[in-house]
Structure 1
Amino acid sequence: MSFLAVSLLKFGFSQAKKQRAKKQGQQFQDPSAYPQYPQPYPMTEYPPGVAPGSDVAYPPSSEPTSKRSKAMGMLISALRFFQFVFGLAVIGLYGQDVHHDHKAKDTWNAKWVFALIVGFLATSTAVIHLIVPFLTRKVNYRPGAKLQLPRFAWEFVLCVLWLTLFGIFGKLYIGVYPSDSNSDSSKRDATSTTSELGDASKINRMRHAVWVDLVNLVFWAVTASWALLQWLKARREDGPVVFDAEKEAGSI
């Protein structure tokens, strides 16, 4: 009896070892029994000339336009519209005298022609800035850093032109009043020069044109400052791709 019991015990122990080995084999063959790790990033997806471990600056992800950005875009568009309107006003104020000289077959005055050129350049620039947002369907359209700097440079040139125009005609007409017998004596200090500057209607028109020039100067100074800020911001956002050649050579 004892021999039979020992035999049964050995048989049961061997069967238990077989079952345990069978379960372990199935566990090694089942891929779901182990955690799945992410596959390595394929080398073909890397940008050309960039290897793993290099410092790469990627562009920021596109985010929805905030209400503040939309408000600033609408404000700048309003300033562009006023630049267009006041530029046309300058062309109309100074163009009357040029048209009169042309009609009388007289030589055009260089100062009035300069005023027309400045007004035309400013008006054309304002029209371009008003049309571009409609073409791109973006209220707060912002060109890249490569275009921001030329835009600021051009608007700075326009500021210098408006400042020059204001200085020329301000020196001629600020404080000058038309000669009138009914006017106060304090307003007739420049009676001897009014005949050289034109009649009463021309002097009054030019005195108003000087302040329109000043308003244009303020408008373009504001937008030029805005263009400068946008260029500095775009320059910070657009970072170049940095490639460490020494690190790449060491990895090889």
Structure 2
Amino acid sequence: MLSRLNITKGYLAFAAVYFLLFVLGLAIIGLYATDVQRWREAHVHVESKWVFAVVVGCLSSITCIAYLVPFVFHALGFIAPIWNLVLFILHITLFGVFAKLFLHAQTGGDGAIMRMKNAIWVDLTAALLWLLVTIGSAGYWWKHRDVRSRFTGRARV
């Protein structure tokens, strides 16, 4: 268990990955919110796919901010790997939706299409990092869970 004066190497490794995921979440928000804002200013219907992308980026960034606070990740226990898995599923869904739309699209000098082609690779990178964090946080929970001795059940192991 983390003490107030002892931040472990594991926490620092998780913090570095969560900071990277925070930056990727902000990038996702920026890449997709550009079109949402343009459509909103033009009083045009906003596509739900883009709103989904912005929501996924927001959830990812908020989660990373919460996890960067010491002791929050440890206090969540087995809920953290489950939530990380949910975020992985959301990110891989986001990648699939926009890869189908833009992966094989011809840019033809259109900067918006090129931006979206770049955005799908950001989505995939974030999804793979969330998968690694899910596996790592499940392993962290398994190793640091509150267990009792096998024979008497009185001692904490």
* Correspondences of 1:24-35 after superposition (within 5 Å): none
Give 1:121's aligned amino acid.
L
Give, in angstroms, the shift of residue 165 of structure 1.
0.2
In the alignment, what sits opposite 1:112? 50
Of 85, 90, 112, which residue of structure 1 is paired with 2:23? 85
C-alpha contact 1:148 1:228 (8 A) present in aligned 2:
no
Give, in angstroms, the shift of residue 214 of structure 1.
0.6
For structure 2, which runs of at least 5 residues remain unmatched after alignment? Answer: none
Q: Secondary structure of 2:8's match?
A: helix
Give, in angstroms, the shift of residue 142 of structure 1.
5.7
Give, in angstroms, the shift of residue 242 of structure 1.
3.7
Greater Cα radius of gyration, structure 1 or 2: 1
Of 139, 143, 154, which residue of structure 1 is paired with 2:74? 143
Of 73, 76, 89, which residue of structure 1 is paired with 2:11? 73
Q: Where does structure 1 differ by over 4 angstroms across 4 or more consecutive aligned residues? A: none
CA RMSD of aligned residues (A): 2.4
The 2-side partners of 1:242 and 1:91 are apart by: 49
Give, in angstroms, the shift of residue 233 of structure 1.
1.5
In the alignment, what sits opposite 2:41? 103
In the alignment, what sits opposite 1:229? 139
The 2-side partners of 1:70 and 1:176 are apart by: 46
TM-score where L is the length of structure 2: 0.85
C-alpha contact 2:73 2:80 (8 A) present in aligned 1:
no
Aligned pair in 2 of structure 1 residues 96, 221: CA closer, same or farther (>3 Å)?
same
Aligned pair in 2 of structure 1 residues 209, 148: CA closer, same or farther (>3 Å)?
same
* Correspondences of 1:1-252 after superposition (within 5 Å): 70-130=8-68, 132-133=69-70, 143=74, 147-179=76-108, 200-235=110-145, 237-239=146-148, 242=153
Give, in angstroms, the shift of residue 104 of structure 1.
0.4
C-alpha contact 2:91 2:123 (8 A) present in aligned 1:
yes
The 1-side partners of 2:86 and 2:11 are apart by: 23
Give 2:88's aligned amino acid.
C
Give me the identity figure in percent. Answer: 34
The 1-side partners of 2:153 and 2:21 are apart by: 42
Total equivalences in the alignment:
150
Give 1:103's aligned amino acid.
E
The 2-side partners of 1:107 and 1:119 are apart by: 21
The 2-side partners of 1:142 and 1:176 are apart by: 41
TM-score where L is the length of structure 1: 0.55
For structure 1, which runs of at least 5 residues remain unmatched after alignment? Answer: 1-59, 181-199, 244-252
